[in-house]
Amino acid sequence: MGILSLFSILGNFVAVRNLVDKAIIDNLVFRAHYKITAMIFFAFSMLVTANSYVGEPIMCMSDDERMDQYVTTYCWVTTTFTLPIKSGQQAIYPGVASYSDESKHDVKYHAYYQWVPYILVLQGLMFYSPHWIWKILEGRKIGLITEGIRGNILGRSEEKMYVKNLLVKYLICKLNMHNIYAFGYFFCEVLNFVNVIGNIFLIDWFLGGEFLTYGLKVLEFSQMEQENRTDPMVAIFPKMTKCTFHKYGPSGTIQSRDYLCLLAVNNLNEKIYIGLWFWLLILAVFSGLILLYSMALCMMPKFRKLILRRRFKFGSNKLVSKLIDRFQIGDFLVVHFLGQNLDNINFNDVMTELCCSLHMIDEPLNESPSNSILFDTGNVNEPINVQAQV
């Protein structure tokens, strides 16, 4: 399979769909976790595993050309290492210094490059899992109750009014019965925040405690004078390392040989992780902000009124206040999702009729004779055929 074919698989993560085809059941930051971030991790994993298209991930040089491939394979499946360069000591490359008994305790082993693609796939699954959990808990509720009026769609007004009538009946019959639904959504938002913070510390552990300050060191490095620069990426992702290979000598004595290994894969790894450092930092900040937004929705009724009035352009202050007083947090979350899926006209029609049915206003605004028949909610305790399940 070619590398372009591999990346074409990821198209579903960022596919743009019309609102009629798929209901919106989360927010922009939530989607950034499972659509963008999960795609980034999967793409980076494919890129690392497909690195053979542009060169070998590791090449080691031995004193016998016939042993090169064997030594290369051995050093890849075991570990390579680097040594710090002491003052006044000469070396052909940072970390590739003379090896002695005194410097054994300074050896820094590098084995992470074997596990990079697997860790990236695991992290991609971790970022997708809250969305998967929320889809199960959500049960297509919003998609079913907005079917036929979702988005800016064209259609017969009688059919749309009938669907809106069913939607109003559903909201009345299930009033104050959506709190478990809301708890599931807010739980998944907390999972998103914990997940991004946890992944930052996971990468830091994976890279030997170097990731938390990695981006800051790179920025600092870019501002230094050329002669004073010490590239932090070289310390974390060395391009050249050493490998100790043991073999039998002519008399059967075990001989240890140090070989130089060129880690071409680290040229890619350093770019991957500097990109992840900035992206995860940005995502963590916005995930924290959206969590504060959700907490404000839960604890501040006045904030819910502001959302209905300013974001969804519905009603007067007095009417919205009455509605919020009747709503619990689960009801408001369902209405919040309705505002994201319906155009402004349909949303205002549904909310106005809901207020009318709850006896907050005498009659729907701008009501026509035909609309009054189609919007007759009748007995609110009467069983209705609405597909969505609580």
pLDDT of residue 240: 81
In a domain, 390, yes or no: no
> Is 261 within the bounds of a domain?
yes
- Tell me, yes or no, whether 344 lies in a domain: yes
Q: How many domains does the chain have?
A: 1
Q: DSSP 3-state assignment of 207? A: coil
Containing structural domain, residue 210: 3-374
Q: What's residue 104's pLDDT?
A: 59
Sheet holding 80-82, edge to edge: 59-61, 254-262, 240-248, 80-82, 108-110
Q: For residue 385, tell me if it sits in a domain.
A: no
Number of residues that make up the chain: 390
* pLDDT of res. 199: 96
Please give the DSSP secondary-structure letter assigned to residue 93: B
Which among 380, 384, 390 has a CA at the least distance from the CA of 163? 384
Sole residue written with tokens 């963008």: 36
CB burial of residue 64 (10 Å; 0-12, 13-18, 19+): exposed
Strand blocks (E) in the chain: 59-61, 80-82, 108-110, 240-248, 254-262
∠ CA 256-236-244, nearest 5°, is 5
Beta strands (DSSP E) in 12-142 are 59-61, 80-82, 108-110
| Residue 365 pLDDT | 44
Does 388 reside within a domain? Answer: no
Residue ranges of the chain whose pLDDT lies below 70: 1-21, 51-55, 62-68, 84-106, 151-156, 224-232, 247-256, 361-390
d(CA 7, CA 43): 7
Q: What pTM was estimated for this model as a whole?
A: 0.80
> What are 336-374's pLDDT values in tens digits?
999 999 988 889 889 998 988 887 765 554 444 334 434
How buried is 27 (Cβ within 10 angstroms: 0-12 exposed, 13-18 middle, 19+ buried)?
middle
pLDDT at 387: 45
Answer whether residue 387 is part of any domain: no
Looking at the domain assignment, is residue 384 inside a domain?
no
Please tell me the predicted confidence (pLDDT) of residue 337.
Answer: 94
362-371's contacts with Cβ under 8 Å and 24+ in sequence apart are: 370/158, 370/161, 371/161
CB count within 10 Å of CB 200 equals 17
Handedness of CA 362, 368, 369, 372 (dihedral sign): negative
Q: What is the pLDDT of residue 295?
A: 94
CA–CA gap between residue 199 and residue 210 (Å, rounded): 14
Quick one: which of 156, 187, 217, 127 has its CA closest to 333? 187
CA atoms within 13 Å, Cβ hemisphere of 38: 23
Q: Is residue 386 part of a domain?
A: no
